Amino acid sequence: MSSQDINFVYCFDQNYNVQANNSINSILDKTTEKINIYIIHRKPESFAIYLERIKKRKNLKKIDIYEFKDHELLQTFPRVFKTHISEATYYRFFIEQYLPKDINFITYLDADIICINSPIEILRNQIKLISESEYLIAAKTESFIDENYKNIDNNFRLDLKSKKYFNAGVMVINYRKWLENSTSSKLLEELNRIKDDVYYWDQDVLNSYFDGDYIELSEYLNYNLHLTKQDFFDKRSKNEKNEISLIHYAGSYKPWSVRGIYNPKSKYYQDQHMKLNNNNYHIVNTWRPDALFRFVQGILTFRFIFIKKPIKFVVGVLISLLKSNKK
């Protein structure tokens, strides 16, 4: 394995096959050099149709998919059941059991990441910073305690000495050091220690374990895009937006939900999906009172006509309603 290789890692299950496929293809669309992709999956056979298409991409050097096998252990993990989050959120704790041992650096990505500009140059700079330091990971700080004691919940709940809490949707990892330090085992130990305080699944465990011991990740590699509120993204110039590489659709409203699609910022996800799927929208979980209300409200106020391909949107919602109602 070349030390110059760029390696991306995804962990997901069949519920996020479409999202992960969109994410992977968005990266392949924007990069010019060959990259490696590693996937840890609950049921790899369910991703087979996407995998075969991805393998045909010219700038893909290698893609491997591994079946996650430690399901019984995960039954004891906190907040796996009765939430919208699947057990796959914990798969990254087991990467040592699946990924090749001759990799130097990996970049972990959540499946709700969309690439809008090539991340390679920024990633190489980030990798250089980690390699020249004693740190094991680079991550983007999401909240911290300031003098006015804002954003204190995660820090107090986990008793973080650093007063810093990072978003784990994108992590650049010195994988060689990860292996040398037996990090996976230590994360499982940390999970057992704080399991009664875990609220944000694996992200809580990672923050409790590293507790500020990380390099700050460039915001351009994990730009949180919220669909329920305005943020600085709306005010950025075109040149500034061109600097952003990886968009992370953080928050509960996703760009494949009805409410999310009405937000213009969902276009990065939906445009990528349309490109791969004959200009059709990706719409999920619309059989809910809130989703129905948003859909009907958008029709009655003619808001839907401002959406790209409004007729396809309406048809897509109706099809999704029928599918959800049959479940």
- Higher-confidence position of 251 and 232: 251
Percent of the chain at pLDDT > 90 equals: 59
In this predicted structure, the answer to whether residue 289 has a pLDDT above a threshold of 50 is yes
**What's the chain look like in SS3?**
CCCCCCEEEEEECHHHHHHHHHHHHHHHHHCCCCEEEEEEECCHHHHHHHHHHHCCCCCEEEEEEEECCCHHHHCCCCCCCCCCCCHHHHHHHHHHHCCCCCCCEEEEECCCEEECCCCHHHHHHHHHHHHCCCCCEEEEEEEECCCCCCCCHHHHHHCCCCCEEEEEEEEEEEHHHHHHCCHHHHHHHHHHHHHHHCCCHHHHHHHHHHCCCCEECCHHHCEECCCCCCCHHHHCCHHHHCCCCEEECCCCCCCCCHHHHHCHHHHHHHHHHHHHCCCCCCCCCCCCHHHHHHHHHHHHCCHHHHCCCHHHHHHHHHHHHHHHHHC
* Model pLDDT, residue 110: 96
Measure the CA–CA gap between 221 and 24, rounded to whole angstroms.
15
* Model pLDDT, residue 80: 53
In this predicted structure, the answer to whether residue 135 has a pLDDT above a threshold of 90 is yes
* Model pLDDT, residue 149: 43
In this predicted structure, the answer to whether residue 148 has a pLDDT above a threshold of 50 is no
83-125 pLDDT, tens digit each: 556 788 899 999 999 999 999 999 999 999 999 999 999 999 9
If we measure between CA atoms, which residue out of 105, 76, 142, 137 comes closest to residue 1? 105
* Model pLDDT, residue 226: 82
In this predicted structure, the answer to whether residue 147 has a pLDDT above a threshold of 50 is no
**Most confident of the ranges 3-7, 63-67, 144-148:** 63-67
Cα dihedral sign, 156-209-218-108: negative
* Model pLDDT, residue 108: 98
* Model pLDDT, residue 262: 81
* Model pLDDT, residue 236: 67
Span 204-214, average pLDDT: 96
152-195 pLDDT, tens digit each: 466 667 888 898 999 999 999 999 999 999 999 999 999 999 98
pTM of the model as a whole? 0.89
Span 26-36, average pLDDT: 96
Q: Which is it for strands 113-115 and 246-248: parallel, antiparallel or unpaired?
A: antiparallel
- Higher-confidence position of 316 and 189: 189
What domains sit in the chain, N to C, each tagged with a CATH number? Answer: 7-221 (3.90.550.10), 257-326 (no CATH)
- Higher-confidence position of 126 and 4: 126
**pLDDT band for position 1 (cuts 50, 70, 90):** low
In this predicted structure, the answer to whether residue 285 has a pLDDT above a threshold of 70 is no
In this predicted structure, the answer to whether residue 70 has a pLDDT above a threshold of 50 is yes
* Model pLDDT, residue 231: 61
Percent of the chain at pLDDT > 70 equals: 80
- Higher-confidence position of 312 and 176: 176
In this predicted structure, the answer to whether residue 312 has a pLDDT above a threshold of 90 is no
251-275 pLDDT, tens digit each: 778 999 888 888 889 999 999 999 9
**pLDDT band for position 150 (cuts 50, 70, 90):** very low
